[in-house]
Structure 1
Amino acid sequence: MSDNLTLRGKTFYLKRRVPARFADVEPRPVIWHSLKTDSRAIALSKVERVWAGYLDGWEARLAGRDGDAEARFRAARDLAARQGYAFLSADSVANLELIDLLRRVEATQAPSNDVQPEVAEALLGGVEEPGLMLSGLVAHTEDIASHDNRFKSAQQMRLWRNPRIRAVRNLIEAIGEDRRVVDVTAAEALQHRRLWQDRLKSGKLKVASANKDFHYIAGMLRRFYDDLGQAAPPHPYAGISIRDRHAKPTRKREVPVDLIKEKWLAPGALDGMNDEARDILLISIETGCRQSEIMDLPARAFKLDAPIPHLMVANEEGDESADDRREIKNMHSERQVPLVGLALAAAKRHPEGFPRYRHKRSYSAGVNKFLRENGLLPAGVTIGGVRHTWESRLKAAQVPMDDRGEIMGHSVKEVRGREVYGDEMALQMRRDVVARIALPVPDHLA
């Protein structure tokens, strides 16, 4: 940008020709902008930022002139901010003190004293807030959240989308009509809550379902207003929840380790189960992984030829030819999972992973049904309890709590209650810990 610096007297100026594409929104062919310094070094540090401000302003004017309703609203908001004003609706502008109104009117004028239409709309409230309807909120949110969701598989996207669709449907039912998103206020949120309070009287639904509804709507509204860049966005769902003072804390029951050793690993006990389901179960027994962390893994996550065989649990980007994308539960879940004993033997039988169950939801129900029908699962216990059994085994081996958390993919910071220093646990150390509690591998499962 040094070629665009010009010294006038003792002051440096930015001098640059306006790009042709902005001719319709910028009447000046050349910009002269004082950088208010006689120091070339300081001028150089300012010039790029100043020019970027001009470009952003012209882009906003183009959007305000040519964009759709939302683009025009964002452009108006941005233009107002660049002029040093908050965007206000026309009604709010009309209620300003006279001196404040006159300042806004004067700010709409270009150096030539001509009124700039896009700036006038921005400062005088000439652009209406976008008319997105509730029925379009989920699709709109999905578009806004596309970067956040970039690792989700098609199945994970369905699981992300469906509860939000239900929440919007319930809100529309509660207020009796589809309505503009910007018209959703605390009154509509209260109607939404009353709908759920009436439903809960039957005793067939759970309070948690209602609170999830409120959570999803609040989250979508937060993204909607954040995307608009509204300085003081409304929070209509603030304080909206339902509490059940009689609700008891729930905790998933673990599968007794003696049952696993004496019955599950007995010869012929799992013969009626297909080989993929059986080996997913065996890997979960000896790694404590969540079921999805095993069955959704692509082939590249199986590091069986490494000096220490392991699974790599991480966000997967996938490729153009296959739906191998997968988002892990949270950032703490990313980890190397050492394979020993039963888990190593099972993984070697499936070096390409488990295509029968990848990105599907049939595994858990099918395996639970098989184990129950064959007397291999106590009442009230599910195979999800294997992960809880794993932690109990680690605890019995006197593995420290924060090490257990790191091995299982939990937040060590939350476990310790303070900042975490040092490197994460090395794969060798992980392997040594899990090898201490490994179950004997029966010949029929080796």
Structure 2
Amino acid sequence: MARSAHNDLYLIKRGQSWVYHRRVPTLLLEADGRGRFVRQALGTRDLAVARKQRDLLAAADDELWSSMTLQTNLDGSRAKYAAALKRVRALGFGYATADEIGRSATWEELSSRLESILPTTTPKEVEQAVLGTIEKPRATFEDALRIYTEGPGKQKLANKSKDQLRIWKNIPKRAIARFHEVVGEKALADIDRSDAVRFYRYWLGRIVPDDDAAAMHPSSGNREIGELRKLYREYFSFEHNEKDRLNPFMQLSFAEDGSDTRPPFQTSWLADKFLKPGPLSGLNSEARGVLLAMIETGCRPSEICSLTKNTIVLDHETPHIAIRPRRANDRKNADFAEHGPREVKSAASVRSIPLVGVSLAVFQKFPDGFSRYMDKAGTASQTINSYLDENGLLPTPAHTLYSVRHTFEDRMKTAKIDYEVRMGIFGHSVSRPSYGEGGGLDWQQSLLHEMALPFDPTIV
């Protein structure tokens, strides 16, 4: 709200009571329709109270005039509704629609509302606000996403890094955009089962195409339908306390067979293509370090790229890396102060992994981590995958950098490492309660050392 240093701006006295008095912008006189000045009796002699009411009314007029200037129906209706809320609060009421007032207002409240607008000078907008005749804006999926990120999801999202947050937001945004493309832009309250089924059938046609088009994987359709289902559920649960509202997207999904899992490399492929001089020499040193670090740790690329000097522990009797979140509520953490928050995939992902073989050599060269790819795992993966593809270092089109992680899991199985120890090192949860620390870092180091692959030190 535009304010001067004068605390009593827009306030004048009529007798013993204060009045809100403000000039309507000349360019908006016709659109506003209230004459050259807006006048609203505040019904109080207390200057402090009058100032608070003045602030609410002035903010309401600012929003109303802004919507008139924008001349857009959607923004205008929302601004008008926001203005109504502030006008009613200024008069001491809570905003309710006419139907809500009729159903639940007491005679005393109804009488007070009517008395507040009896003066013939009461502006039309104030009458509409008090009587609840201004229609509430109709929320859309975009609104649901905004409300979720600012409300029930805010605490969880606060722990994501900028890159994680960008990736997270892209998923529902893509689902919303596709829903608009297939079904059209509809208010959430108007979306019914037929709309959800129409979206489902669209994805069914892409997953099982009737022509020669490339088939999409079921997980893609499940992801988008799942995002819309969640946004619908969270919006009505949080905003309207309708936890049991029938969700039109319920029970709509596609069977997945695991065919999108990246295949592992043969161990001999790692030995010949990655651990000998030559094949990786054209890859920049940090990207090469990310790839080589994965070979004997099995870490996700995102975990490798988020490591810092405080989570690469080389001065320990068992050198290791520590996969840890950087939480928003742990601002005293040095890594949080320098790099901001970062979320790990699950509780089981929080772990320490002993360093052996080529992975130990990598972190001895990069004891502070990979600054070029700090929290930019997507960039690192794209760089590495492009290089491997362009240089014939992928045995099939299905193989990617992530295949190194699956290779590590297979190598642990071949080495006959106990299931629970494998799951702990790999960052996966087990179905039964876990006791102890899986033998401790030194014992885990001995197991990994037994399966470590020989490498030429010049490749690091």
The bucket for the TM-score relative to the shorter chain is 0.5 to 0.7
CA change 1:192–1:344 in 2 (3 A) is same
Distance 1:365 1:437 in 2: 29
Question: 2:192 aligned with 1:185, yes or no?
Answer: yes
RMSD across aligned positions (CA) = 3.6
The match for 1:216 among 212, 227, 230 is 227
* Corresponding residue number in structure 2 for 1:397: 415
Q: Is the 8 A contact 2:276 2:459 kept in 1?
A: no
Q: Once the two structures are superposed, what CA deviation does each residue of 1:177-210 show, in whole Å capped at 9, x if it has no partner?
A: x332233222321232233345553533513322
CA distance in 1, matches of 2:443, 2:135: 60
Q: Once the 2 structures are TM-superposed, how far is the Cα of residue 238 of structure 1 from its aligned partner?
A: 0.9
Hey, what's the Cα distance between the residues in 2 that align with 1:127 and 1:242?
A: 43
- Is the Cα–Cα contact under 8 Å of residues 163 and 213 in structure 1 kept in the other structure? yes
- 2:174 maps to a residue whose letter is R
Picking from 388, 391, 404, the partner of 1:386 is: 404
**In structure 2, C-alpha distance between the alignment counterparts of 1:116 and 1:193, rounded to whole Å:** 51
Q: What letter matches 1:158 in structure 2?
A: R
Distance 1:379 1:373 in 2: 12
1:34-433 alignment, distance < 5 Å: 66=89, 131-144=138-151, 145-176=153-184, 178-199=185-206, 201=209, 203-206=213-216, 207-228=218-239, 229-242=241-254, 249-317=259-327, 322-360=338-376, 361-380=378-397, 381-413=399-431, 418-423=432-437, 425-433=439-447
Q: Name the CA distance, whole Å, in 2 between partners of 1:291 and 1:248.
A: 21
Paired letter, 1:224: Y
Deviation at 1:432, TM superposition (A): 2.5
Any gaps of 5 or more consecutive residues in structure 1?
1-20, 22-61, 77-88, 95-100, 119-124
Alignment-mate amino acid for residue 230 of structure 1: E
Deviation at residue 424 of structure 1 after TM alignment: 5.4
3-state SS of 1:279 partner: helix
TM-score by length of 2: 0.65
Partner residue in 2 for 1:437: 451
Amino acid at match of 1:340: V
Q: Which AA in structure 1 matches 2:156?
A: D
Residue by residue over 1:372-406, the C-alpha shift from the partner in whole angstroms, topping out at 9 and shown as x without a partner, is: 44443312322211111111111111111121111
* TM superposition score normalised by structure 1: 0.67
Shift of 1:283: 0.9
Deviation, structure 1 residue 257: 1.1
Equivalent AA in structure 2 for residue 187 of structure 1: S
- Aligned AA (2:451): I
% of aligned pairs identical?
A: 29
Verify the 8 A CA contact 1:282 1:343 in the aligned structure 2. Answer: yes
Give the match's secondary structure for 2:373: coil
Quote the residue 2:117 is aligned against.
none
Whole-angstrom CA distance in 2 between matches of 1:263 and 1:398: 25
C-alpha contact 2:314 2:320 (8 A) present in aligned 1:
yes
Q: Shift of the alpha carbon at 1:346?
A: 0.5
Note if contact 2:323-2:351 (Cα within 8 Å) is conserved in structure 1: yes
User: Which amino acid letter does the alignment assign opposite residue 267 of structure 1?
Assistant: P
Q: Matches of 2:86 and 2:182 in 1, distance apart?
A: 36
Preserved contact between residue 175 and residue 192 of structure 1 (Cα < 8 Å)? yes
Shift of 1:239: 1.5
Aligned letter for 1:351?
P
Aligned residue type for 2:140: M
Q: Which consecutive residues of structure 2, in runs of 5 or more, have no partner in the other structure?
A: 1-48, 50-84, 114-131
1:406–1:425: 8 Å Cα contact kept in structure 2? Answer: no
Shift of 1:133: 2.2
